[in-house]
Amino acid sequence: MARKRITPGKIRLAEVAKLAGVSPITASRFFRNPEALSVGKRARVESAAKELGYVPNLAARALASQRTEVIGVLIPSLTNNVFADVLRGIYDALDGSRYSIQLANTRYSILQEERLLRLFLAQKPAGLIVTGINQTADSRTIMESVDCPIVQIMETGPAPVDMMIGFSHFDAAKAAISHLLDRGYRQIGFLGARMDPRVQRRLDGYRSTMSEAGLFDERLIVTTAIPTSVTLGGTLFADLLAKAPEIDAVFCVNDDLALGTLFECKRRHVAVPDQIAIVGFNDLEFMASSVPTLSSVRTNRYEMGRNAAMMVLETLDGRRPAESVIDLGFSIMERQSSARRS
């Protein structure tokens, strides 16, 4: 008949319980909720577990308890430095907790995102961190019907699925353009790549601010769906210059484009900021050490990841975070590349 699938040396919870002189269920409770045990048993189970080198079997735990200790993270890109920082924050926050991370890459496709969402939710994650607020209608329905904590990161907006942490890309772009206007620049170009929803909102912010100043001109906008790169920054800037040679400043939707623009200026012997001012976005580390130093919009990416993970943890602990929507803001880092027009 059916075999006995004996596993010889393996230490199971039952062994720990036996050594501690308690029932398996009591030993189990030690790991889920040690407070529920009397002090004596708690110590006995603890030392028994340590003595045997017990490591819980997560699959068995997940099967029996009908939930996992995995927090799903959906981000659009693994290469983008921006997400590297966010991820680092998430990993740091979850380090040492009993939760692990399941990471997936949507490649900027909301269809892919929906597919991954279904995949994740089928395994009953403990929590979920998703990027942005532009999910498919189906994704939204799915997320709303799920009872695990969900944090939307990278931006803020109305109607969070559950929780949200980020900042307003519209306002950030507005502030960058206002900064340039304030420093005396008028013909401000816009360089955009990839054009994901957040970049679109930066474009909206640019448009709105320029219009309010009576300076809006469609010719000043150069965008592409191509993924961003430093080289692309140079190319886009060259395009802009060809279309609108009169420009006196450029707002780049990220720092790679800004650096590429700076190099292209060098190549063309265009003085920065005397002839062209440059402002980037994200404030990556190199912006402060280029020559000239490059102005940028600082965003709090590490904190975003860290706080998002902490919001999930708090919710799982039963302590609902004070705020379910957190605006981390941004700040304009004013450097040489956008010094006041002389």
The Cα–Cα gap between 172 and 166 comes to 11
The answer to whether the beta carbons of residues 152 and 132 sit under 8 Å apart is yes
CA dihedral 284, 155, 200, 81 (to 10 degrees): 30
The Cα–Cα gap between 139 and 143 comes to 6
Q: Which stretch, 3-11, 97-105, 307-315, 326-334, contacts DNA (CB under 7 A)?
A: 3-11
Nearer to a copy of itself, 50 or 267 (CB): 267
**Taking the complex as a whole, how short is the minimal distance between the CB of residue 88 and a copy of itself, in angstroms?**
5
Q: What is the three-class DSSP state of 182? A: helix
Q: Which of residues 66-95 bind DNA (CB under 7 A)?
A: 66
b/e sequence 56-66, b meaning 16+ C-beta within 10 Å: beeeebeeeee
Q: Which stretch, 61-69, 127-135, 170-178, 320-328, contacts a copy of itself (CB under 8 A)?
A: 61-69
**Burial status of residue 55 (CB atoms within 10 A of its CB: 0-12, 13-18, 19 or more):** exposed
Q: Which two tokens stand for residue 257?
A: 């484009």
The answer to whether the beta carbons of residues 253 and 192 sit under 8 Å apart is yes
Binding residues for a copy of itself, how many (CB under 8 A)? 45
Q: Judged by CB under 7 A, does residue 119 bind DNA?
A: no
> Which member of 18, 52, 56, 91 binds DNA (CB under 7 A)?
56
Q: Judged by CB under 7 A, does residue 109 bind DNA?
A: no
191 membership: H or E segment, kind and range: strand 188-192
Binding mask 165-204 for a copy of itself (x = CB under 8 A): ----------------------------------------
> Which member of 50, 51, 63, 275 binds DNA (CB under 7 A)?
63
> Which member of 230, 244, 270, 325 binds a copy of itself (CB under 8 A)?
230
The answer to whether the beta carbons of residues 198 and 169 sit under 8 Å apart is yes
> Which member of 102, 178, 208, 336 binds a copy of itself (CB under 8 A)?
102
Nearer to a copy of itself, 18 or 88 (CB): 88
CA angle 98, 99, 105 (to 5 degrees): 160
Q: Judged by CB under 7 A, does residue 46 bind DNA?
A: no
Which of 260, 223, 258, 222 shows the shortest CA–CA distance to 243? 222
Q: How far apart are the first and last CA of the chain?
A: 92
Contact partner, 226, from a copy of itself, DNA, none, Cβ < 5-8 Å per class: none
> Which member of 234, 273, 280, 321 binds a copy of itself (CB under 8 A)?
234
Which parts of this chain interact with DNA (CB under 7 A)?
1-7, 10, 12-14, 22-26, 28-29, 31-32, 35-38, 40-41, 54, 56-57, 60-61, 63-66
Which parts of this chain interact with a copy of itself (CB under 8 A)?
7, 55, 57-60, 62-63, 66, 68, 78-79, 81, 84-85, 87-88, 91, 100-105, 118-119, 122-123, 229-231, 233-234, 256, 259-260, 263, 266-267, 285-286, 288-291
